[in-house]
Amino acid sequence: MAIILRLDRVMADRKMSLNELSERVGVSNVNLSKLKTGKVSAIRFSTLDAICSVLDCQPGDILEYLPEDRQ
C-alpha cells in the first residue's frame, strides 16, 4: 500500500498510550491497534478528526504517501 500510517510515532511524541488515546477518542483499543499497525484499509474522517484533535496534530502527521515505485 502507498499510504504509511505513523500513528505510533505521533503517540510516542505525545507520550500517550493506546489505552489513553482510545478513551479520549472513543474508539476501541482493537481498532486503534489495527490503525497503529497499519492493518486497516480505511479510516473514517470522524475518527481521523478525533485522533488529530486529541493528539493536537494534522492528518499529514499520521498519514504519509509513499509512491509504489519508492517502496
Q: Which domains does the chain have, with CATH numbers?
A: 3-70 (1.10.260.40)
Number of H-type helices and E-type strands within the chain: 5, 2
Question: Per-residue pLDDT for the chain (71 aa), expressed as one digit of tens each?
Answer: 588 999 999 999 999 999 999 999 999 999 999 999 889 989 999 999 999 999 999 999 999 998 877 65
Backbone φ, ψ for residue 43 (5° rounding): -145, 135
For residue 38, what pLDDT is reported? 86
